[in-house]
């Protein structure tokens, strides 16, 4: 009994030292709940859940930093805190880094594959005219559109219909998140948010 108490106290101290605090899932609209339920079940078994941590970025509150090596997105909070989300990033051939500004937000966005993507993957040609938002749409529940010098980069931070890719290099340069996580981020960010991808 005494050993159990000692182990429990040690674990409590260790977890407290990590300064991780889980983030509550956002409230979902009826449409969100209905659509997310249709995304593959893997979405609900990802272990890299969002946590509030001590800010590792040094950026001002309201900023976003994406670490393409560690596969984390950080949303900076006041008081030297940040929320860390697991993401998928561009694969080696299509990775993107740089500084941008988020200038548009969309719920269950329409997706139109860029011409370069259709050239690489001709099977996407039927989608050249665009695809309405929904559970089969590659942009998932939300999209944050990244611009440089007022010009659309064509890169997005968005949800996904392939949640099994989270934690991997899998996209064509966009930053993918679990749908529940991108909804949470969407609710927190403002148009004009600075985004750094390293």
**Res. 17 pLDDT band, cuts 50 70 90:** very low
pTM for this entry: 0.84
pLDDT at 197: 94
Q: Is position 18 annotated as part of the catalytic site?
A: no
Helix, strand or coil, per DSSP, at residue 182:
helix
Q: Angle CA(151)–CA(66)–CA(124) in degrees, nearest 5?
A: 60
Alpha-carbon distance 148 to 99, whole Å? 7
**Which of 49-58, 164-173, 177-186 has the lowest average pLDDT?**
164-173
C-alpha torsion sign, points 198, 85, 15, 4: negative
| Residue 178 clears pLDDT 70, i.e. is over it | yes
User: How far does Cα 172 stand from its chain's mean position?
Assistant: 15
Mean pLDDT of 7-24: 53
Catalytic residue among 44, 45, 123, 158: 158
Q: How far apart are CA 162 and CA 166, in angstroms?
A: 8
Active-site choice (44, 45, 123, 174) = 174
Which one-letter DSSP state was computed for residue 130?
Answer: -
Q: All domains of the chain, ordered by start, with CATH? A: 19-197 (2.40.440.10)
Q: How many CA atoms lie within 13 A of 30 on its CB side?
A: 0
Six-digit token string for 121:
């993957």
For 117, counting Cβ atoms within 10 Å of its Cβ (0-12 exposed, 13-18 middle, 19+ buried), the class is middle
């Amino acid at each position: 009994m005494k050993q159990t108490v000692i182990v429990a106290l040690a674990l409590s101290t260790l977890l407290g030292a990590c300064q991780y605090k889980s983030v509550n899932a956002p409230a979902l609209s009826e449409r969100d709940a209905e659509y997310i339920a249709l995304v593959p079940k893997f979405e609900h078994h990802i272990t890299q859940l969002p946590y509030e941590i001590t800010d590792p970025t040094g950026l001002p509150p309201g900023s976003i930093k994406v670490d393409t090596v560690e596969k984390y997105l950080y949303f900076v909070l006041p008081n030297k805190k940040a929320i860390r989300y697991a993401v998928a990033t561009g694969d080696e051939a299509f990775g993107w880094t740089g500084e941008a500004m988020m200038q548009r937000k969309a719920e269950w966005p329409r997706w139109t594959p860029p011409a370069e993507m259709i050239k690489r993957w001709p099977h996407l040609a039927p989608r050249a005219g665009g695809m309405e938002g929904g559970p089969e749409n590659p942009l998932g529940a939300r999209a944050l559109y990244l611009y440089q010098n007022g010009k659309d980069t064509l890169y997005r931070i968005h949800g996904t219909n392939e949640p099994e890719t989270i934690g991997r290099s899998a996209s064509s340069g966009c930053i993918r998140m679990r749908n529940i996580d991108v909804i949470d981020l969407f609710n927190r960010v403002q148009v004009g948010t600075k985004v750094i991808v390293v």
